Amino acid sequence: MIDLHIHSKASDGTDDIDELLDKIREAGITTFAVTDHDTIEGAMEMEGCAHDDMTFIRGIEFSCITEAGKCHILGYGYDWNARPFRELLEEGRKRRRKKLESRLEYLKSEFGIEFSDSELEKLRMMSSVGKPHLGNLLVSKGYANDRRSAIEKYINPCKTESARLDGIKVIKAILASGGIPVWAHPLGGTDEREITIPEFEKQLKVLMEAGIQGLECYYSKYTEEQVSFLVNTARRNDLLISGGSDYHGGNKSVRLGELCSSDIVVNESMLTVVAKIREKAEKRREPLLEIVEGPDLGAYFWIEPVKIQDIGKQTDNMDNKLELEEELILIEEDIMSDFLYLIFKRHFDNELPANKMRSDEYALERYTDGIAFEWNLTDNYYTLDGIRDVIKDIQKITELLKTDPKNRDLDFMREGLRELGYYKPRKGAYNASITEEDVEKLAEENMPELIDFYKRFCSYLEQMIKAAEENGYDLISVSGP
């Protein structure tokens, strides 16, 4: 059996991953996808738990809107490291938070309904909070007899369509991640009204122009007639055929593996999207390294500045400083500030648009004194050619260190190290009374280590450039003190 539309507790399902995996096994399903709303937390956890004799496919479901109306877009086989996809996830998270606050305000203003601090905290801590969570809470507080009536009476009247993601942008982000975008339950989902054929055709036209690659033809709510209509539409338009139950555990009366309202048995060969997902996975060449932005470095001023992620680990570290330290290759902050900062500073481009998006606190005119530049190096961007120039500069400096360490072309490094009073690796701290001789002695002692470091660092930079080119990135963000 197969089911490519399953929700976990990470969004609005009721089963955690362990429970869900047991139920999938009991249902006899061997190929499946976890497709939580606007979040990949459940999918990433399941990827590490799925049994070897099962085929697990990364999935997600985005709540979208286009000029033709509301819709849901499924994404399969994505690379979550792709920047457009990660940016989309972050936008989706923010929009869900905004939608929640709008609904809470609506309940308060229209019905006088307020929740306790602990209830609000629980809602706001959820990674993908939605109508079912609010509906269940309203039922528990006695405002309705069941979740559906609670949603219809108290939540649906609050219009939040503006909080949905742009469907065109969603499709493009999934494609940019190497994934396959599929229109979910195109005739209307469970507990939703059935859309008319003219509405369907209008939305299909919009989505196809945006690059949609498949239709969810087999769906728990659909009759054999509806399934046949969607399958024929997919074949006629050269679209992939997908199918799923839209299982939500106790939040919906839908069974795992239920891909039609009748007793149609759907096997993997009937869903052409699976073969395409496998084909793309075999051809995908994931880069070894990619620059990551990490958390808000301004909040952790002294954490390690240059981060090169080994994406082979497939670990989402965006919001966890401890995991950042454990899962990323780190160039130590003290080496960066002593021996790289001064070089990168020579290549900083004030005119690069990405570097003009500064707050007043880090206005460009403050860069002249060196302080604002130093503090804001965490957000500086370089073009790929700019990084190549940095590599050439480091290589030139490395050669001088080997052959002529007293060359005047290295004076900018000596002066910078003294003036900025930076910390030397394993050699103690500089102070205001340090002499020229002290600097030369420390530099000489560290010379072999520094030359080796520069060589390895240039190799890292070259891999960063390669990863950027392969993934369509134009800029590299370099972190600093």
Of the candidate ranges 153-162, 255-264, 301-310, 370-379, the one whose mean pLDDT is the lowest? 301-310
Whole-prediction pTM:
0.58
Q: Do both 115 and 158 map to the same domain?
A: yes
Adjacent-strand bridge partners of 243: 218
Angstrom distance (rounded) from CA 123 to CA 105: 14
pLDDT at 479: 57
Q: Do both 428 and 460 map to the same domain?
A: yes
Burial profile 402-440: b = 16 or more Cβ within 10 angstroms, e = fewer:
eeeeeeeebeebbebbbebebbbbeeeebeeeeeeeebe
Last residue of a domain, one of 259, 283, 307: 283
Q: Do both 276 and 321 map to the same domain?
A: no
Tokens 């960066």 — which residue? Answer: 336
Q: Do both 26 and 111 map to the same domain?
A: yes
Q: Do both 276 and 306 map to the same domain?
A: no
Q: Do both 272 and 346 map to the same domain?
A: no
pLDDT at 445: 66
Mean pLDDT throughout 193-221? 95
How many domains is the chain partitioned into structurally? 2
pLDDT at 183: 97
pLDDT at 440: 63
Cβ atoms of 182 and 214 within 8 Å: the answer is yes
Domain range for 470: 289-478
Report pLDDT digits (tens) over 374-409: 444 445 678 889 899 999 999 999 999 888 888 889
Better-predicted residue by pLDDT, 68 or 346: 68
Q: Do both 16 and 133 map to the same domain?
A: yes
pLDDT band at 82 (very low <50, low <70, confident <90, very high): confident
pLDDT over 50 (residue 217): yes
Last residue of a domain, one of 248, 283, 318: 283
Q: Do both 396 and 464 map to the same domain?
A: yes
Residue of 63, 102, 280, 69 lying closest to 195 (CA atoms): 69
pLDDT band at 418 (very low <50, low <70, confident <90, very high): low
pLDDT band at 356 (very low <50, low <70, confident <90, very high): low
Better-predicted residue by pLDDT, 417 or 241: 241
Q: Do both 137 and 248 map to the same domain?
A: yes
Percent of the chain at pLDDT exceeding 70: 74
Q: Do both 299 and 277 map to the same domain?
A: no
Q: Which of 123-132, 300-309, 414-423 has the highest mean pLDDT?
A: 123-132
Angstrom distance (rounded) from CA 472 to CA 481: 28
pLDDT over 60 (residue 323): no
Mean pLDDT throughout 159-163? 70
Better-predicted residue by pLDDT, 347 or 322: 347
What is the domain-level CATH number for residue 145?
Answer: 3.20.20.140
Q: Do both 374 and 260 map to the same domain?
A: no
pLDDT at 129: 72
pLDDT band at 365 (very low <50, low <70, confident <90, very high): low
Last residue of a domain, one of 237, 259, 283: 283
Q: Do both 70 and 125 map to the same domain?
A: yes
Report pLDDT digits (tens) over 219-263: 999 999 999 999 999 999 999 999 999 999 887 889 999 999 887
Of the candidate ranges 51-65, 72-86, 460-474, the one whose mean pLDDT is the lowest? 460-474
Mean pLDDT throughout 56-66? 93
pLDDT band at 73 (very low <50, low <70, confident <90, very high): very high
Max CA distance (Å), the chain: 87
